[in-house]
Amino acid sequence: MRTYFPKKGDIEPRWFIIDADGMVLGRLSSAVASIIAGKNKPTYTPFLDTGDHVIILNAEKVVLTGRKETQKMYRHHSGYPGGLRESSARFVRVDKPESMIERAVAGMLPKNRIGRKMLKKLKVYRGTQHPHQAQQPESVKIS
């Protein structure tokens, strides 16, 4: 028996929309990473991008459990001596809550060129407005 591998023309990406209001960041991110990678499909192939597009709304209303709001630090280094920049999750939520979700999902995807391609399928927005009505996204409830 031969193994079936989907061709590029066979892969039809769908669009999903998720409301992050009141959802825990880690649980939301792992479910989104699974959809983006295509692991919820029977045609999943590790070396092909068979995933779907995901739109996340209300990024500023995602929940962090425990004391992560004050203790979790987001770090970035410029590459220069003394170039470490860090800020707590409380300040990142105010400035750019989209990056909290994007970084969490990126950490759950492969660290190679296919993972970078998958990450482009993630669209995160504050509030409930998004410019992807033409793609007719389906609403998904993650429990």
Structural domain count, the chain: 1
Length of the chain: 143
Q: Tens digits of per-residue pLDDT, 100-125? A: 999 999 999 999 999 999 999 999 99
Residues 6+ apart with CB under 8 A from 23: 62, 63, 142
| Measured distance CA(129)–CA(48) in Å, rounded | 31
Three-class SS of residue 95?
helix
Helix 97-106 vs helix 25-37: crossing angle, to nearest 10:
60
Q: Tens digits of per-residue pLDDT, 15-72? A: 999 999 999 999 999 999 999 999 999 989 899 999 999 999 999 999 999 999 999 9
Q: What is the pTM of this model?
A: 0.92
Residue 38, in any domain of the structure: yes
Q: What's the CATH number where 124 sits? A: 3.90.1180.10
Domain that holds residue 34: 14-139
